[in-house]
Each structure stands twice: as C-alpha cells, then as structure tokens.
Chain A
C-alpha cells in the first residue's frame, strides 16, 4: 500500500518540508525532488503552495490509483438469536397410532421412507404405539408433503401439521 508523510517544521528559522515516500515508488520520488527544488526557489512563501502541490501529487493520485474502498460488515452482538422456527415456517410429519398396522410393518416403512437404521425406526414406532403419535420430521411444506405421500402409500396414518413451537 502506498504511503507518504509530509511534515512542515521550523528548524533554526528555516522552513523545512520533509516528504517521505516508500522505496518502491520511484516516479513519486522524482516528483519529490522537483517539488523540493521549487520549494528552495520560492522560499518559505512557497510552503503552503508546496504542501498543496504535495497533496495533489501524492495523496490524490495515489488515492485514485491504489486505494480501494474497504467495506467491512458491521459486527455487533445479537442480544437474542432467532430460532429456526422463527426464521422459517416448518411442518411436522406426524405418524398416528392405529390398532391395525403391524409393529414390524411400521418399523420397516420408517426405514424405507426415511432411510433410518432399524433402531431409530423402532424408537419412533414404539413412540407411535405408546404415546399415540410420533413426530418423524420437521421439514418445509414440500418435503413434509412428500414424506406424508410416501407414508400414506404404505397405508400408515400420517399427516403434516404446521409447527407451532
């Protein structure tokens, strides 16, 4: 990144202007030399004009040529986080108990439809059996609908309900 420093000091009654240019800027260094010669010719009266020239020579062109505006996102601490439920409406895929579907059959269907291992499918099957229902998934409308279609193909009592939680 290009940088320069322009200092105007008064040393022993003389106006001295120092300009520091980083080493890999030879073009600017030449301009500094020309500007210093002009300063010597005009004397202290030329200092304000010299400084102005300095700024025009180094600051403005370098800004246009090299400085790219850097936009950083505001980082601030959230006081509360939105839950997934707040962010997107979800639908629950629910399987309801009935006294007709065989337990092994229900387990098998859960495995096929959701790709679950037998153990997980059995947990949900037992939940259906013991508690009357089991929430099998929380999905978008389309996906929940898809799962309900699949479960009903196997004649399970499945519905989708909007997640109120």
Chain B
C-alpha cells in the first residue's frame, strides 16, 4: 500500500488485493481495547473521580460507536475502493485518516494487551506460539498500516 496522490483534503492510496483483505480484517477487529483499560488518573483515589471516570467511559463508548459506524461505512461503501488492474485505489479524506489511525491503534494496543502487555523495552519477549500468533499478527499489521497513514499525513510518504 502506498500513497499515490495527496490533495488538500484527500489522500489516494494504491492498495493491493491482499493488502485490502488484511486492512478489512484488521478494521473488522475493532474495538479490542477493554473499556477498563482507560483510567482518568493514576494517583488520585478512584473515589474522588467517580463521576469524571464515568464521563470518560461514556465519552469513549460514544467515540467507539462512531468509529464502528465509520469502519462499517468504509468496508461497505461502494466506490470507496476503485478497482485497478493490480488492486484498488483507496480514497480517504484527512479527517477519515484521523479516525482510521484511532481504529488501527486500538487494534494494535488491544492486541498487545491481549498478549499480556509485555514490556519489550525492558527486555520482555513476545512469545510467538500458536495461541499468541493472531494477536502478534494483528498488532504488527495494524502498526504497518498506521505507519503508511502517518507518513501520508505528514507528507513523508514516498511519492
């Protein structure tokens, strides 16, 4: 998948058939991060922020609902992907790229949490077994798509 055109409000990507299947599959996993993962504060006792914590959870639930709707629309919308001899052209606006990033990162972080939140920076290893393989795969694939979208947004994508 690579950026082939960046207009003021639209990004056009060339995406292969297999890549499209992968992207659809990853987007279909959303959401993966458990709601309990989000805490408003580390140090303040939970009792002090009960109402605020509830608001955070409601806000994130609404956001997830919205993102789920967007994902469904992206996957189902006819004309979103334009067929080419080698694959497809994917057209997304910049705001759509923002929520795509949110969705992809949710899948990445959710997969990492499912793997036991290994602290790889402190030397913990991610064990690749038959059981962990799906999470490792979704984490890495989501990260790879994120990188493509980030490069496109920041204008660093190879043209």
Contact = CB atoms under 8 A, between A and B. Distances in A.
A153 interface: yes
- The size bracket of the interface on A is 20 to 34
Contact of B147 (A100, A104, A118, A162): A104
A149 B44 CA distance: 17
Interface residues of B, number: 36
A155 B106 contact: yes
Interface string A39-77: 000000000000000000000000000000000000000
Contacts of B59: 149
A34 interface: no
A153 B102 contact: yes
Interface string A88-123: 000000101111111011001000100000100000
B119 interface: yes
A148 B42 CA distance: 12
Contacts, number: 74
A161 B43 contact: yes
A152 B40 CA distance: 9
Given A97-B121, A102-B147, A161-B43, 16 more contacts: A99-B112, A100-B109, A102-B150, A104-B147, A104-B151, A105-B101, A105-B105, A105-B150, A141-B52, A149-B59, A149-B60, A152-B60, A153-B63, A154-B102, A154-B105, A155-B33
B142 to A, nearest CB: 10
Given A108-B101, A152-B38, A161 B44 contact: yes
Nearest to A108: B150
Given A145-B55, A152-B56, A159 B41 contact: yes
Contacts of A153: 60, 63, 102
A102 B154 CA distance: 14
A160 interface: yes
Contacts of A162: 43-44
Given A104-B150, A105-B146, A108-B153, A145 B120 contact: no
Interface of B: 33, 38-44, 52, 55-56, 59-60, 63, 98, 101-102, 105-106, 108-109, 112, 117-122, 139, 143, 146-147, 150-151, 153-154
Contacts of A154: 101-102, 105
Contacts of B40: 145, 148, 159-160
A100 B60 contact: no
9 nearest A-B pairs in the assembled complex, by CB-CB distance: A100-B112, A99-B121, A155-B109, A99-B120, A155-B105, A159-B42, A104-B150, A159-B41, A161-B43
5 contacts: A104-B154, A112-B98, A118-B154, A145-B56, A152-B56
A155 B59 CA distance: 13
Contacts of A159: 39-42
A104 B33 CA distance: 20
Contact of B41 (A105, A149, A160): A160
B153 A161 contact: no
A118 B155 CA distance: 12
Contacts of A155: 33, 102, 105-106, 108-109
